[in-house]
Structure 1
């Protein structure tokens, strides 16, 4: 059974060869170029990925475009910066493929000290606590590696165009009565420069986006 892997991409030329080279057999890469200026789209295409463009800037906009492009029953999402190892995608997709879960989140476990900044880790923990209070679902991480059925995701009618997309997916899935599980995955040093949590502006923007989702 094949699985499409949606990879939002903004200037990830350095990481793409490693990421695409680690995809397991049966997992097809859909790289959604979100306005890269470093040749990411051309590199991804040369490495065999399906490449689509999403001119509207934002993590959610890129994920939504990838979801519209995907054709497989089960789809995965994964960051394109090498912090997550595509070789571990079967750990996340497996429970959905076998009918044991409707949404599986990859719980990030750092492979070495110092790669997950303390403010980001604390914010993630606080958001997970608020999600438990809002939905009753006990999650420990809101990580970007995840898997679900494509038609079910489309039916959620997600609207967030920015960093709140992943949180909106979880909240709406919980409201719809989905079975949500976590699977431990490695969290590695990224390749290249962070566009979100690596800068103060990006970090606070992500927090604001997610707070808006919970407020709704």
Structure 2
């Protein structure tokens, strides 16, 4: 068993954000940056900052996350966006209940700073979280910051390889009677030069929300 904690960071053209993001890793946390086809030199930047870099040519958030999970060796694995919107200094607070056995999955509940979360993205997230709660999954956010034990995550068998991965993860965790603990985290504006791959526009948010609700049916 390793004595570090792995942090999987899916990455698509995040070179502008990566240096600050990776500097924010707490001691004892190892970054696994999974490049998903960047054209801005993100893999080179991540490697220069000391991250383990893995390339996943299949496009999709879920594909990148799954590849990162496969390359992780730590008992506890965390997941975070690489766009600068999250403070990786929050990770120990998520890891604590997983490490102690009080929770099977710790998920960050975003508390946005001004300008961090467009109204349409926030509304779509709220709709999806409400659907999950009606299905018995006690969450208020489709969390981008998560922590769980690697073996348990693998056993869930999440299949989605696109942006529906976090939703399927929560659904499967709920069906498996996982204890899920939500922890408030700060949500900041993305680093200059980065843009959401899903919620960067009203049209994109509506399409993603529609497709995800359809998948829930």
TM bucket normalised to smaller: over 0.9
SS in 2 for 1:207: helix
Q: Which residue of 1 aligns with 2:130?
A: 129
Q: Which residue of 1 aligns with 2:75?
A: 73
Asked whether the 8 Å contact 1:20–1:29 carries over to 2, the reply is yes
Distance 1:90 1:64, change over 3 A: same
Q: Which residue of 2 aligns with 1:115?
A: 116
- Tell me the CA shift for residue 200 of structure 1: 4.1
Matched, 1:43 2:54: no
Segments of structure 1 that go 5 or more residues without pairing to the other structure are none
SS in 2 for 1:89: helix
- Tell me the CA shift for residue 193 of structure 1: 2.6
Q: How many pairs are equivalent? A: 213
Q: Which residue of 2 aligns with 1:141?
A: 141
- Tell me the CA shift for residue 209 of structure 1: 4.2
Q: Could you tell me how far apart the structure 2 residues matched to 1:101 and 1:175 are?
A: 15
- TM-score under structure 2 normalisation? 0.94
SS in 2 for 1:41: helix
Q: Which residue of 2 aligns with 1:199?
A: 201
Distance 1:69 1:209, change over 3 A: farther
Residue-by-residue CA offset, 1:130-189 (whole Å, 9 max, x unaligned) = 00112x132111121000110111111111011110010000011011100101110001
- TM-score under structure 1 normalisation? 0.95
Bigger mean CA offset, 74-83 vs 118-127: 118-127
Asked whether the 8 Å contact 2:77–2:148 carries over to 1, the reply is yes
Match among 208, 213, 216 for residue 214 of structure 1: 216
Q: Which residue of 2 aligns with 1:59?
A: 61
Residue-by-residue CA offset, 1:88-133 (whole Å, 9 max, x unaligned) = 111111110111100011000112x232111111111111110011
SS in 2 for 1:153: helix
